[in-house]
């Protein structure tokens, strides 16, 4: 797994930002950014949120909870997940069953479309 600092450095470079650019956007110094990227210092929660926003990613990605830096950025998906969260266990089970069936169907269609 890539460290917090390495993720920051990679995302910064991907955004074609220098450490100076990132420091200005966060209102901090280049030396602080450098220390984050070398995993010598860990930012506060508020700074981590700002980092995620500036680097167009999620806190979950930076913290290593997911390896997909865009997984939880889809507003429509988040809205649906919040709705399902309040369902009873039986209702959640029904949603998951239906969703799994739709996912399988789409994957099968894609597989057969490529095979032809």
Task: Return the domain boundaries, the chain.
Answer: 4-63, 75-115
pLDDT at 23 over 80: yes
53 pLDDT tier (thresholds 50, 70, 90): very high
pTM more than 0.75: no
pLDDT at 90 over 90: yes
State the SS3 of the chain.
Answer: CCCHHHHHHHHHHHCCCCHHHHHHHHCCCHHHHHHHHCCCCCCCHHHHHHHHHHCCCCHHHHHCCCCCCCCCCCHHHHHHHHHHHCCCHHHHHHHHHHHHHHHHHHHHHHHHHHHC
Give domain 4-63's CATH architecture: Orthogonal Bundle (1.10)
48 pLDDT tier (thresholds 50, 70, 90): very high
User: Looking at residue 67, what is its pLDDT?
Assistant: 67
User: Looking at residue 76, what is its pLDDT?
Assistant: 82
72 pLDDT tier (thresholds 50, 70, 90): low
67 vs 95, residue with greater confidence: 95
């Amino acid at each position: 797994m890539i460290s917090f600092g390495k993720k920051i450095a990679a995302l910064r470079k991907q955004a074609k930002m220098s450490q100076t650019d990132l420091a200005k956007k966060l209102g901090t110094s280049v030396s602080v950014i450098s220390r984050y990227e070398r995993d010598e210092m860990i930012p506060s929660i508020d700074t981590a949120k700002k980092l995620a926003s500036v680097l167009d990613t999620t806190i979950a990605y930076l913290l290593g909870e997911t390896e997909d830096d865009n997984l939880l950025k889809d507003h429509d998906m988040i809205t649906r997940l919040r709705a399902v969260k309040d369902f009873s266990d039986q209702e959640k089970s029904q949603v998951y069953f239906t969703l799994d069936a739709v996912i399988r169907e789409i994957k099968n269609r894609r597989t057969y479309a490529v095979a032809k």
